Each structure stands twice: as structure tokens, then as C-alpha cells.
Amino acid sequence: MKLKTALMGAVACFAMAPAAFAERGADGNVKVLYSQAVSIMNAYLSSGTKDVEAGSLVLEPLAGFNEAGDVIPRLVTEIPSVENGGISEDLTTITWKLIPGLLWSDGTPVTADDAVFTYEYCTHPEGGCAQAARYEGIASVEAVDPATVKITFDGPKPNPFTAFVGATSPILQKAQFANCLGAAAPTCTEANFNPIGTGPFVVTDFKVNDVVEMAANPNYRDPAKPAFATLTLKGGGDAAGAARAVMETGEFDYAWNTQINPELQAQMEAGGKGKFVNAFGTLVERIEMNMTDPSADLPEGERATAKHPHPILSDLNVRKALSMAIDRQLLVDVGYGAAGRATCNLVPAPEIYASPNTDCIAQDMEGAKALLEQAGWTDSDGDGIREKDGKKFTLLYQTSVNAVRQDFQALIKGWWNELGVEVELKAIDGGVYFGGDPGSPDTFQKFYADVEMYANNFDGTDPEPYLAQYTCEKAPRPETQWQGENINRFCDPAYDAMVVELAQTRDMEARGALARKMNEVLTKDTYVVVPLVDRGRLSAHSNTLGGVVLNTWDSELWNASDWFRVK
Amino acid sequence: MTDTLPAAAVEAAFKPPRSQWRDVWDQFRTHKGAMVGAVVLALLIFFVLFGAFIWRIDPAFIEPDAVKMIRSRNQPPSWAHPLGTDQLGRDMLARMIAGGRVSLAVGLTAMLIAILLGTTVGVLAGYFRRLDGPLMRMTDLFLALPLLPLLLVMVLLFRDKLAGVFGPELGTFLLIVFAIGVTSWMQSARIVRGEVLALKEREFVLAARSIGTPSRRMILRHILPNVMSPIMVAATLGIASAIITESALSFLGLGFPPDFPTWGRLLFDGVDYLQQYPERVIWPGLAISLTVLSVNYIGDGLRDALDPRIRGR
């Protein structure tokens, strides 16, 4: 009898196990560590990645991106397309259908009015909305019925997945934010710190720039999720400390952006407590060639402007030779390990926009030397430095202060010295270099150097605005207070025409082909931009945390509702 | 009736009089810490000055061949690289030698500038009543200025110009030395002024004045030797803080070009590898600590030796 009871108990346990596994809140607490602390939960009032990602646990957009960069539904029944009638034939409207019966975490229904309100909130003329770019080109957003949102654009929009798509444009609850429009937005502390959302978690305690405590959303649309009852999101520290907290001490289950040197990565992984996960997005470490003369002899206001072309780097063969002398794979091995890969492209992803160009991967020192000889740069006086018309080949190479970048500088200087180029290095504090202060001579926009190195990427999956940065009129110059995205002052009317053409091209295949061509114009045809490393995102999670899928196209915590405890 | 002097006393009387510096040296020798410090500092200076002639590897040399370069990285100490290699395969011993040269040169030169300025201001303010007010207010002004922002502005304004005239390395050296010098003289100026004010009232100064000694000689002959000991202490502390300030500037990217090794930069570069290769931090850290410690002990010994009130006890 006793045996029978025990057996039945065991059977019952086994039968219950899968059910228990799929129950909301069954897995207790999960601890997440961000090396930058969260200061607000509302993505519209902060451009900081950490705030956007923390907010994504609570506030959700209509649709998001998956790890491949495809648009996936979140609060809607399906992704609109021209085929299913969600996008109009002329590409000027897009219509979203909300999931029926969807509730906010306070139990009230989600309606199309909330989306309309969100649009008004971010485009309010008095409010400084950090994500206004996602709502550009919209003529109106209207609620056709409580479950249908219709967006009308100013003109045909080949990529309509900007508004309400991705973690940077979530839906706010109208009832909660109604009094927070425009200038009042930052004053609504309670709403900004404890927003009512549709995501898997709700905020229970918010300590600014320290820790956010969350609990499972009782009204989440999937009754079995999230598996964790509570989530603790701690902020602060640095990348190495965050990696250590997951990989060595096991205090945390997940750490964001654990960019550390490859040796340390290998050593921590050998500990066996956790794993590094990486995914590649569009972040490319590159060298930009200055097309204008940054010489200090020129008067202020003319220095580094289109009035004076660069005396050395204006020659295509010179730029090409400098690129050929670089061994990109070695740079990856030294600086990034698993979190990087050599690239020749400015736009390395998504696949449809990525050029198959791999010409630059193999280092060709002899070819580079021959190219310089051909361009007229010869070492006539035997001092190891090439000259042409009495001018020595010397370059000033600047970047921000960062251990990996300084290693890159030293390596690249070595190769260029071998080529017969004298290189002077300069490292500038990141706050100044990227600070954009027009009064400082050391900003990357001012570019008072011959070549400079930094990394940049584009938001979302469409490279159009990114490629459009390299038009003539976007060059930083005194008239624009040294603002502008065309850092190297590349100017080619043919390229400008391609930018206009890209904006008018609707067919995806044609867009891809054109974008690939534009990428090649900037890289392998002109070597104005010399891409070095495609930098992936590297995060760490403990072996006891399951379901982690790293995503570079959306919030890193995009699928936190699917996370579970490995038992 | 005639008492003969003892032989020893006669001998002593015929000996030439002992010079002041001889006394100083004798006193200095009795200070054990100072002697050890002097030997260590001499060895360090010898190491950085002549090390490069004995150890002839280029501190910036990176293996050009990719495969060899990967193998040469992060080597433990060996006969080929007694202190190992860094993350790019550069020889650490050669980098320590090159870095020490810069760090010691910056420390000593900046200290000299600071002491020269501080002593001049302090003596003038203490000795001439009319100058006291303006000079001390200027000192207060400099003390009130936040040091780091001031340095940043100076670097920003003058770096390119100096680099144009003297080349990037010498230009940066002059700028950093000058910047550290002119922003660290205030403490010594205050100390010196206080001492001078007290000395001015002493009888020997009054006596010297009564026989018409001009101010210039008064300062050089009677005042300066007596304020030597606080100046020495300020100077030794100054070397240490100058080396450390240079490190901080290099770290902010405002010091020397990033491929230019200094002890401070080697230390900061090593911090990333602290866990895996602690020696990367230990060597430059040890060198900086040894320099600072030995200079402090030398200063301590010198103060005892130079102060006529302590000497001979």
C-alpha cells in the first residue's frame, strides 16, 4: 500500500512537472546586471540604451524585431504587408490590428487610442522626444476603431516599420500619461518610473540610477509567461565587473554588454559557470580618411573644410594603399575575439544590404608599397619615410581613449611605418571626442587630424538614413557649428543622386542592390571609409538561465518573457 | 710654566677647517634611510639613462608578421624578454626603460620649476612687506583654481602650437612639465613665506642689516640657507605628485601620444590585464613607488643634514 502511494506520488509529480514548468512565476527571481544604471523607464525621454532596454520589459511596441532582423508581431495579430492589405498599394498607409482582449497591467483594455496618444506624446512641439526620428514622415495616426490603428505617411514609405516598431517606440497608456504632454513630460515622475505597460513585467520599486525591482505582469497576454515571478535589474560597475558577476561569482544571471579582452573571455568561460553570447549587428569600427586639409597653418574657419582638399589623402591610390597594409583578422584576434569579425563593409548587415565585398581582408603589404610608388610617393632620401614633391608622408591618427583602440593604433602605426609612412598618434578622452562641443578642437566632427578611428552603427534594419549621411551638405563645417554626419567630408554628386534614388526606391530587391552599391562607393571604390571590424554585441548569461537569444535589432531583453530557470 | 697642548689638539688645529658641505655630507651619511634611498634612486637613474644602450630592443617594436606577433603576445619572463611582453608583444623591459626616462624627466623638471617659482614668490612675499599682499593673493588665486580643468585648458590651447615648434614629443614634454610646474608651486610658496617672516625677526638678520647688508645678499646668504629644509621636503613631495599627475594626464589622453610609454601609462595599460598578468602592473607600480619612496627618504635626510640646528646632534 505504501509502495503504491509512493509510486502514485511519483507519477503525479512527473505528470505535474511540465505543467509546473509552464506556470507563470514558477521560477522565482532572475537577476540582471547592466553596467550602466537605469535612470528612467520611459524610452521617449532617454536615448540611453540601458533605459530603452529596461523600459522594454514593461512597455511594448506594436511589433518588434527578432534576432534575424525580421519584424514580429507583439500587440498585433499579424504584420501588415501589401499582400494582406495592411499596407496600401501606394505605400502611404499602414494599418495595425490589435490582439482582441489585450489588457494593460492595471487591467484596463489596450485600445487604438493609446497608440494615437503615443504619437501625440512624442511629436508634441514643446516636448523633447528622444525618439522623434521614429515618427518622422507621418501625416496622421488615427484610431479607425478601438482595435485598429492607421498611420498615414507624407508620401510613399518603402520602410513603414518605424513608428510603434522596436523597443524605441513603445505604446504608452493614455490614461496614465494624459497630463504629461509636451513640457510636462519630464515632470511626471511617477508615470516615468512606474509606467503601466503590456510587457511581461511591472515595476514594483524604482531606485534612480541604482536598481529596479519588477514582478510578473498579472495581465500578460500569455498566461504561462513569464516563468520568473520577479526580476531585479541592477545598474552600475563596468564591463569586466559585470562579466565577473555572472561568469565567476554567479551573483547575477545575465549581464549586458560585457565587452572585455579575448584572453579574459576565454579564462572566464573556462570557469564553467556561464556563457558569453554574441550577435552581430551593424556596429563597425572604422578608419575615416579626412578629405580636407586639417593643417594648423590654415586660418580657423578654413581648416578642415572643403576649401582645402587634403594634400596627401585626396589621392585614391594612397587611401587604398593604407587600407591594404592593414591585417584586419589580427586586429580582431587582439581586440575582440569572439565579439568581432573582420569586415570591408560599412553596412555589414542585414543580409540584403550587405555587400559580398571581402577584397580588403587579406593584408597586401607589397601591393600597398607598389601602389604608393606608382602614386609618386618614394623614399628618395633613405630615411624610411616616403616623400613627394618635397612633402613628407606623415599622418596624424586620432581616436578616443580606450584600451582596445590604443592597441589598434599601435598595430596600424606599425604597418603604416613599414609602408614608409610616419604616423603620429593621438588619443582623446571619449567625453571630449564624442562630445560634439563646437568650441573644442578635439571632436571627431571637427576632425583636426588626417585619419581617425571610431565605431558607428544604424538604428533598426534600414540603412537608408545611415548611407544618406555621406552627402556633400552634411559635412561638418563652421557654418553648421561643426555638426553633421559626413565626418570625412566626402563629396560626390553621383553619390548624392544615389541617396535621392534610394529614398524613392520601393522594391526591396532594388533597394538592397542600390544600398550595396552605395556601400561599395564609400569603401572599396574610394576607400574614404576603411572598415576594420564588425563589432558584435557580447553579453553573458549564467548556465542556469535558459531561453536567452541575443538580438541586436531590438532590445537585448526582447524575449525576457521566454526566459526560464534551467533545473 | 708653558703647558703643552695635547698632540690631538695640535693636530686638529693644523687641519684645514671643515667645509659646510662636508658637515652636511657627514650628517646625511648617518641617515640610513636616506643612504638607501640615494642608492636606489641612483640605480633607477642609471637604469633609465644607460639601460637603452645595454638592452637594445625598440620599445615600440611589434612583430610585423601576424603569426609571430600572435605568438609573441603576453609572454612570461624569459631570457629573451626578462620582464615578459605586453598584449601586443612589445618587450616590457625596453618599455620600462623608455617609460622611466620620461617619467623621471617629467618629475624632476616639473619639481624644479615648481620649487623655483614657489621659493621666489615665498621669499619675495616674506621679505618685502609691500609685495606680500599682492603675491599672497595671487597664490590664493592659484590655489583656488581647480587644477585639472586648468591643465586641460592649457593643453588644449598650447599643444598644437608647441608641437608645431618643437615636434609632438618635445612639445608635449615642455607643455606638461610647464603645466605641472606652474600649478604646483603654491604650497611651497606659503611655507617659505612663513619661514621667512619668522627668520626676518631673528637677531642675526638684524645684525646683518645693521652692518648694511643689501637685500640681495641678505636673502641669498642668510635667509635662503635657513629655509632650505622646508623647500627640500616640498621638492621631494613634488616629484612624486608630478609623476602621478603626468600619469593622470596620459590617462585622460592629454599627455604624451598613446604609443609613447611612460610609467604611468604602462600602469594604466596593465590594469585591464591585472588578473591574468599581474606583473604588467607590478613593474611600473614598483618603479613609481621606489622612486617616490627613495626621493622622500633623500629629502628627509637632506632636511636633517641641511638644518644647522639639527646637524651634529
Please give, rounded to a whole number of angstroms, the shortest distance from the CA of A427 to a CA of chain B: 5
Give tens-digit pLDDT for B234-283.
887 788 788 878 877 776 667 788 778 888 888 888 887 888 888 888 99
The pairs formed by A275-278 with CB atoms below 8 angstroms and a separation of 24 or more are: A275/A540, A275/A541, A275/A543, A276/A243, A276/A247, A276/A338, A276/A339, A276/A538, A276/A539, A276/A540, A277/A538, A277/A539, A277/A540, A277/A541, A277/A548, A277/A550, A278/A338, A278/A339, A278/A536, A278/A537, A278/A538, A278/A539, A278/A550
Give tens-digit pLDDT for B18-43.
777 788 888 888 889 999 999 999 99
The pLDDT assigned to A312 comes to 92
Highest mean predicted confidence (pLDDT) among A40-44, A288-292, A432-436, B64-68: A288-292
The pLDDT assigned to A18 comes to 43
Question: A8: Cβ–Cβ under 8 A, 6 or more apart, which residues?
Answer: none
Q: Which domains does chain A have, with CATH numbers?
A: 280-459+528-536 (3.10.105.10)
Q: Say if CB A158 and CB A101 are below 8 A apart.
A: no
Shortest CA distance to B73 belongs to which of A261, A126, A179?
A261
Give tens-digit pLDDT for B94-152.
999 999 998 899 888 998 999 999 999 999 999 999 999 999 999 999 888 887 788 77
CB neighbourhood size of A402 (10 A) = 19
Give tens-digit pLDDT for B157-197.
887 778 778 877 788 888 888 888 888 899 899 999 999 99
CB–CB contact B64 A418 (8 Å): yes
Chain B residues close to A240, C-beta within 8 Å: 272
The pLDDT assigned to A266 comes to 86
CB–CB contact B160 A263 (8 Å): no
A19 pLDDT band, cuts 50/70/90, is very low
Alpha carbons A350 and A372: distance in angstroms, whole number: 35
Q: What are phi and psi of B195, to 5 degrees?
A: -65, -45
The pLDDT assigned to B3 comes to 63
**pLDDT(B55) > 50:** yes
Whether residue A363 lies within 8 A of chain B, CB to CB, comes out as yes
Shortest CA distance to A56 belongs to which of A231, A179, A176, A218?
A231
**Positive or negative: CA dihedral A79, A84, A88, A91:** positive
How are the residues of chain A apportioned to helix, strand and coil, as percentages rounded to the nearest 5? 30, 20, 45
- Interchain CB contacts (distance < 8 Å): A and B: 73
A297 pLDDT band, cuts 50/70/90, is confident
Cis before A226 (ω within 30): yes
Q: Which of B64, B74, B156 sits opposite A263 (nearest CB)?
A: B74
Alpha carbons A337 and A331: distance in angstroms, whole number: 9
Domain boundaries along the sequence of chain B: 37-46+90-311
Q: Say if CB B104 and CB B291 are below 8 A apart.
A: yes
Pick the CATH number of B37-46+90-311 from 3.20.20.70, 2.40.50.140, 3.40.50.300, 1.10.3720.10: 1.10.3720.10
Shortest CA distance to B86 belongs to which of A244, A412, A411, A453?
A411
- What Rg do the C-alpha atoms of chain B give, in angstroms? 25
CA B240 to chain centre: 6
**pLDDT(A551) > 70:** yes
Q: What are phi and psi of A423, to 5 degrees?
A: -125, 130
Interface test with B, best of A238, A432, A444 (most B CBs within 10 A): A432
Write the ipTM: 0.77
The pLDDT assigned to A16 comes to 45
Give tens-digit pLDDT for A168-224.
889 999 999 988 888 888 888 888 999 999 999 999 999 988 899 999 999 999 888
The pLDDT assigned to A208 comes to 87
Average pLDDT of chain B, as a whole number = 84
CB–CB contact A407 B87 (8 Å): yes
Helix and strand counts by DSSP (H, E) for chain A: 15, 20
C-alpha cell at A292: 580636407
Please give, rounded to a whole number of angstroms, the shortest distance from the CA of A531 to a CA of chain B: 19
Interface test with B, best of A247, A366, A406 (most B CBs within 10 A): A406
- SS3 category, A353: helix
Q: Say if CB A278 and CB A338 are below 8 A apart.
A: yes
The pLDDT assigned to A13 comes to 47
Query: What is the secondary structure of A478-536 as a DSSP string?
Result: GGGTT--S-TT----HHHHHHHHHHHH---HHHHHHHHHHHHHIIIIIT-SEEEEEEEE
Looking at per-residue pLDDT, the higher value among B297 and A128 belongs to: B297
A15 pLDDT band, cuts 50/70/90, is very low
Q: Which residue of A has its CA nearest to B169?
A: A424
CB–CB contact A415 B73 (8 Å): no
Please give, rounded to a whole number of angstroms, the shortest distance from the CA of A562 to a CA of chain B: 35
Whether residue A392 lies within 8 A of chain B, CB to CB, comes out as no
Question: A567: Cβ–Cβ under 8 A, 6 or more apart, which residues?
Answer: none
- SS3 category, A105: coil
B232 pLDDT band, cuts 50/70/90, is confident
Q: Which residue of A has its CA nearest to B162?
A: A296
- SS3 category, A426: strand
- SS3 category, A390: coil
Chain B residues close to A400, C-beta within 8 Å: 253
The pLDDT assigned to A67 comes to 85
Chain A residues close to B276, C-beta within 8 Å: 263-264, 267
Interface test with B, best of A258, A334, A392, A443 (most B CBs within 10 A): A334
The pLDDT assigned to A8 comes to 56
Alpha carbons B189 and A497: distance in angstroms, whole number: 67
Alpha carbons B292 and B239: distance in angstroms, whole number: 7
Whether residue A398 lies within 8 A of chain B, CB to CB, comes out as no
User: In angstroms, what CA-CA distances link A162 with A137, A461, A463, B126, B144?
Assistant: 10, 10, 13, 72, 52
Give tens-digit pLDDT for A116-127.
999 999 888 887
**pLDDT(B8) > 70:** no
CB–CB contact B253 A428 (8 Å): yes
CB–CB contact B273 A263 (8 Å): yes
Chain B residues close to A410, C-beta within 8 Å: 60, 62, 88, 90, 258-259
Interface test with A, best of B67, B72, B85, B88 (most A CBs within 10 A): B88
CB–CB contact A334 B73 (8 Å): yes
Chain A residues close to B168, C-beta within 8 Å: 424
The pLDDT assigned to A20 comes to 44
The pLDDT assigned to A409 comes to 92
Chain A residues close to B60, C-beta within 8 Å: 410, 414
Q: What is the 3-state secondary structure (H, E, C) of chain B?
A: CCCCCCHHHHHHHHCCCCCHHHHHHHHHHCCHHHHHHHHHHHHHHHHHHHHHHHCCCCCCCCCCCHHHHHHHCCCCCCCCCCCCECCCCCEHHHHHHHHHHHHHHHHHHHHHHHHHHHHHHHHHHHHCHHHHHHHHHHHHHHHHCCHHHHHHHHHHHHHHHHHHHHCHHHHHHHHHHHHHHHCCCHHHHHHHHHHHHHHHCCHHHHHHHHCCCCHHHHHHHHHHHHHHHHHHHHHHHHHHHHHHHHHHHHHCCCCCCCCCCCHHHHHHHHHCCCCCCCHHHHHHHHHHHHHHHHHHHHHHHHHHHHCCCCCCC
The pLDDT assigned to A509 comes to 85
- pLDDT > 70: what percent of chain A? 96
Mean pLDDT of A132-161: 88
**Positive or negative: CA dihedral A62, A63, A64, A67:** positive
The pLDDT assigned to A5 comes to 59
CB–CB contact A409 B88 (8 Å): no
Alpha carbons A432 and A399: distance in angstroms, whole number: 11
Q: Which residue of A has its CA nearest to B251?
A: A401
**pLDDT(B222) > 60:** yes
Alpha carbons B15 and A182: distance in angstroms, whole number: 95
C-alpha cell at B178: 610647464
Please give, rounded to a whole number of angstroms, the shortest distance from the CA of B52 to a CA of chain A: 21
Average pLDDT of chain A, as a whole number = 87
C-alpha cell at B109: 623638471
Highest mean predicted confidence (pLDDT) among A254-258, B60-64, B246-250, B270-274: A254-258
Alpha carbons A407 and A413: distance in angstroms, whole number: 10
Q: Which residue of B has its CA nearest to A418?
A: B64
- SS3 category, A118: helix
CB–CB contact A413 B87 (8 Å): no
Q: Which residue has the cell 581586440?
A: A335
Whether residue A429 lies within 8 A of chain B, CB to CB, comes out as yes
Interface test with A, best of B73, B87, B260, B262 (most A CBs within 10 A): B87
A37 pLDDT band, cuts 50/70/90, is confident
Q: Which of A267, A334, A441 sits opposite B276 (nearest CB)?
A: A267
CB–CB contact B73 A327 (8 Å): no
Looking at per-residue pLDDT, the higher value among B269 and B1 belongs to: B269
**pLDDT(A9) > 70:** no
Where is average pLDDT lowest: A36-50, A493-507, B81-95, B240-254? B240-254
Chain B residues close to A263, C-beta within 8 Å: 74, 273, 276
**pLDDT(A14) > 60:** no
The pLDDT assigned to B2 comes to 58
Q: Which residue has the cell 509552464?
A: A22
H helices present in A311-398, as ranges: 316-324, 328-335, 365-374
Buried residues in B90-129 as b, exposed as e (16+ CB within 10 A):
bbbbbbbbbbbbbbbebbbbbbbbbbebbbebbbbbbbee
**pLDDT(A287) > 70:** yes
Q: Say if CB A553 and CB A281 are below 8 A apart.
A: yes
The pLDDT assigned to A6 comes to 56
Cα angle vertex A354, ends A164, A321, to 5°? 135
Q: What angle separates helix B129-144 from helix B92-127, to the nearest 10 degrees?
A: 140
User: Would you call A171 exposed, middle or buried from its count of C-beta atoms within 10 A (0-12, 13-18, 19+)?
Assistant: buried
Shortest CA distance to A398 belongs to which of A469, A361, A456, A447?
A447
Give tens-digit pLDDT for A422-440.
998 888 877 778 877 778 8
The pLDDT assigned to A143 comes to 92
